[in-house]
Structure formats: C-alpha cells, structure tokens
Amino acid sequence: MLQRFLVDRSGNLAIIGALALMPLLGTAGLALDVTHAIKVRTRLQWAADAAVVGSITDKSAGVAQAMTMTGDGSVSVSESEARSIFAAQMANGTTIAQPGKAAQSDPNDLEETARTFKVSVVKTGRDINVSATFSTLVPTTFLKIFGKDSIKVDGIAKATFQSNSFMDFYMLLDNTPSMGVGATPADVDKLIAATKNQADSGSRDCAFACHIVSENGVADKKSNYFVARKVGATIRIDVVAQAVAALMKEAEKTETYPNQYRMAAYTFGQKAEDANLYEVSKLTDDLKDIQTKVDTISLMSIPFQGYNNDQITSFDKALTRMNSEITPPGDGSSPAKAEKVVYFVADGVGDSYKPTGCTKKVTGGRCQEPIDVSYCKTIKDRGIKIAVLYTTYLPLPTNGWYNTWIKPFQPEIGTKMQACASPGLYFEVSPSQGIESAMKALFVKIIRSPRLTS
C-alpha cells in the first residue's frame, strides 16, 4: 500500500493549480491595486498643478501681497490660496491635512486621513516661486491578503510667476483691404448708405470692406476709403491704430523698471503694388514716439478694383519676414535678454498667389485659405510667444464669390487663428466689441503669466 501511494500521480494537477493560484491572484491583485494608486496620484497631481498656478495669477491676493514686498521672503497669502484651490479640485467635502496633522475626516478612510499637502511660496527678486508637495496612502484590496494594507503615492508641483519681466513686443497689424470693414454696426450702415447707389459692383461690398483705396482721394469716386472718411464712418484699421496707441500708454503705466517694455510696429505694406512688411516703427523703448507713429497707419492703397486679382494678403510672407526681424528671445531678466512677443492682429483669411501648398482649392494660382499655422509654429518653436487678436471675418451670404470660396472654410478661420496663438493668448473681437479693450486684456495676460515649471 505504501509503495502504491508513493508511485501514484493522480491529483497532481489540482495540487499544482492550488499552489500556483496564490501568486496568480497576487499578481492580478497587484495590477489592480497599483492601477488604482496611479489614478489617485494623477488626480492629486492635477489638483496640485492647478493649486500652484492658481495661487499666483495676476488676480490672486498672494501676488498682490508680493508686489508690495520690498524684499524677498515667503508669501503666506498664496499658501492659503493654493490649499483652497487644491481642496476645491478634490472631491466635495474633502478636508486637506495641515502639515504635521491628520485631516479631520472619516477615520476609517485611510487615503483621506493620511493625505498631506504642503505649500511653500517665496518671492525671490522678480519671481514668485510656489512649490507644493502631496502624499497619501491608498488602501489596497487584493494586496491585503499578503499583508500590504496601502500603497504610498506622492508628488510635487512647481510654478513661477514673473512679475516684472523685460519684454519686446512686435506688433504685426493687418492693414489689407478687408480691414476696411466698418468698426461698428453703425459704421457699416453708414458705408452701405453712402455706396449703395454707386455703379461699380465692387463698391456695394463696402459694408464689408472698402476694397478700393485710390491715392487720388475724394476726387476719385471709386475711392471708398475716402467715402468712409467723408461720411464719418470709422473702419477697423482706424480702431486698430487707436488701440495700439492706447496700448503704448498702458505699457507706460505698467512698467516697473526703465525700458522694461520695448515696442515695434509693422503692417503688411503701404501700397498693393509693392506689398511687403512695412516698418511703422522700429523696436524702441520710447513708447510716446511709437504712439505718434501708429497714428499714421492706414489701409493699404489699391490702385483699382481687382488689382493683382486681389492677391495681396499673404500671411505666409508676413509671418516669415516678421520672424526674421526678431532676435533670439531671452529669459526676460534684462533688456538684453528680453522675452519676445508677436502681437498679431488680423481677420484670419489669406488671399495670395500660392499655386502650390495652399490648404484649400485654388483658382488660377489664387489661394484663399485660413492662416497656415505652420508659419506660426516656426516662430513659436524659437521660444517666441504669439498673441493673436482675431477681428472676426464677417460672412457675406449675398456675395457669390464668398459663398463659393470662403464660406466652405468659414468655421475654420477662428479655429486656425487660435491655433496660431500661444496657449491662453487668443482673443476674438466682433465689430460691436472693443479692440482696444481686447488688446489691453491680452497685454495683461502676457506680462502676468505664471509658468508651470515642474
């Protein structure tokens, strides 16, 4: 009987299976518990990132406190703001543990009671640096079998707010005919009334844009630009020029250091016959001088209706030449290391001779398309920011050319302009909105923009 027992192999599979079951269950349990821990950590990281950035925005009390500090030191207000934002990002009712203390919550919730969130906010020079660390114990389910009750997860988030960076602004202003649209609905109505009886069919679109700008002035009956002047209608390019001048005043008031902000201004050209990047003002720290010079900005002159098949708006060329004007950007720590910003104002529709490479269908080599964002990317890849002010391209539902060539991509115009902009630096203004207010809002965003550094 003993011999038969020793040589009998029946039942081995069950025994082996039983022995293998424990490590298999352990592996599966480990995967499930670790996956849950990763999800918890990701959520905590998102909350910490939001907390460090949100606590040092231009509207936060912490930044306001730091601005009044004469020296370096900790910023206590931002610490409390960061903690509040972190709590708000977590589940409703979550209580965040203070450093060295357990959260006053459900004592049976291991993840909750073990959570800590520590914040340090320090002003150093012109930088406000915030650092936040978090940790928690995530309860396990399957790993309890092996005596592992929790998995510790932790992380860190850092952000820097530069309150007084040196910056160079390069204003790229679209002054091509489509910027001859009336600045407000009332101005549009004035242009319609003033041009509705003109024989020239192109003139009837002056409600949208004064496409003819003759140098002959009011003597030329087709010069709708001067018709607008005669009837007192303000057009978009006028408002853009006024907004740029107002922006210079805003920059003057905002400066903390001498020569902190320098400005340059460019248009797409003075005449369609030699359309090229035109320097209204070179880069200068004399902001009063540039205020005077931008007053001279006007709509690009067009010798006659349909000149060059209306192919005079090349964003590709303008952005390429703008890029070549800008020296390498710095960290903003001094005028010699100024950050660089392109301030781009346009209605977002290119119209140029581009027989190859056009993103939309062409007619005789004429390319009408939304902005090609690859040219924006080239600039941004150099570390240069692009702030985009999109002056809404107005639909012309009664115009056959618009319906055939522009309407098919109308929904893309604003989307492409936003894609051209650096994150958070995009603004769209319709005819009834204020370009000046939008420009100032973008300026504030640029100069008071926190960076998530880790």
Q: Which DSSP letter does residue 327 get?
A: P
> pLDDT higher for 343 or 30?
343
| pLDDT, averaged across the chain | 79
Burial (0-12, 13-18, 19+ Cβ within 10 Å), 171:
buried
Q: How many angstroms separate the CA atoms of 232 and 293, rounded?
A: 22
Q: Which residues of 6-33 are buried (b: 16+ CB within 10 A; e: fewer)?
A: eeeeeeeeeeeeeeeeeeeeeeebbeeb
For the chain, percent of residues with pLDDT exceeding 90: 27
**What is the pLDDT, as a whole number, of residue 145?**
77
The band of 321, judged by pLDDT with boundaries at 50, 70 and 90, is very high
Beta bridge partners of 350: 369
Interhelix angle for 76-89 vs 61-68, to 10°?
170
- Model confidence at 105: pLDDT above 50: no
Q: What is the pTM of this model?
A: 0.65
The band of 42, judged by pLDDT with boundaries at 50, 70 and 90, is confident
- Angle subtended at Cα 392 by Cα 236 and Cα 312, rounded to the nearest 5 degrees: 65
The band of 126, judged by pLDDT with boundaries at 50, 70 and 90, is low
Intra-chain end-to-end CA distance of the chain, in Å: 73
How remote is the C-alpha of 206 from its chain's centroid?
32
Q: Helix, strand, or coil here: 256?
A: coil
The band of 103, judged by pLDDT with boundaries at 50, 70 and 90, is very low
CB 425 within 8 A of CB 387: yes
**What is the pLDDT, as a whole number, of residue 417?**
96
**What is the pLDDT, as a whole number, of residue 286?**
93
The band of 231, judged by pLDDT with boundaries at 50, 70 and 90, is confident
- The identity of residue 358, as a single letter, is C
Beta bridge partners of 131: 120, 158
> pLDDT higher for 207 or 390?
390
**What is the pLDDT, as a whole number, of residue 388?**
95
Contacts for 46 with CB less than 8 Å, ≥ 6 apart: 89
Q: How many angstroms separate the CA atoms of 283 and 58, rounded?
A: 27
The band of 371, judged by pLDDT with boundaries at 50, 70 and 90, is very high
**What is the pLDDT, as a whole number, of residue 141?**
82
Sign of CA dihedral 88, 90, 96, 99: negative
- The two structure tokens encoding residue 87: 């709590």
CB 75 within 8 A of CB 66: yes
Sign of CA dihedral 366, 369, 374, 379: positive
Any idea which of 124-138, 261-275, 337-351, 373-387 has the lowest mean pLDDT?
124-138
For the chain, percent of residues with pLDDT exceeding 70: 76
The band of 232, judged by pLDDT with boundaries at 50, 70 and 90, is confident
Q: How many angstroms separate the CA atoms of 227 and 237, rounded?
A: 15
- The identity of residue 85, as a single letter, is I
**What is the pLDDT, as a whole number, of residue 441?**
86
CB 211 within 8 A of CB 177: yes
Query: What is the residue whose two structure tokens read 């907390």?
Result: 51
- Model confidence at 387: pLDDT above 50: yes
Segment 277-305 mean pLDDT: 87
Length of the chain: 454
Q: How many angstroms separate the CA atoms of 207 and 213, rounded?
A: 14
Q: 133-143, pLDDT tens digit by residue?
A: 999 888 888 77
Q: Helix, strand, or coil here: 344?
A: strand
The band of 454, judged by pLDDT with boundaries at 50, 70 and 90, is low
Any idea which of 174-188, 267-281, 355-369, 415-429 has the lowest mean pLDDT?
174-188
Complete domains list, the chain, with CATH: 23-162 (no CATH), 167-452 (3.40.50.410)
Q: 392-451, pLDDT tens digit by residue?
A: 887 777 778 888 999 999 999 999 999 999 998 999 987 566 788 888 888 988 887 666
Cβ atoms < 10 Å from Cβ of 125? 12
Query: What is the residue whose two structure tokens read 């995967």?
Result: 31
The band of 163, judged by pLDDT with boundaries at 50, 70 and 90, is low
**What is the pLDDT, as a whole number, of residue 349?**
92
> pLDDT higher for 170 or 221?
170
**What is the pLDDT, as a whole number, of residue 23?**
60
Segment 82-89 mean pLDDT: 83
How large is the C-alpha radius of gyration of the chain? 31
Any idea which of 6-20, 82-96, 139-153, 241-255 has the lowest mean pLDDT?
6-20
- Which candidate, 376, 387, 389, places its Cα nearest to that of 433? 389
CB 293 within 8 A of CB 353: no
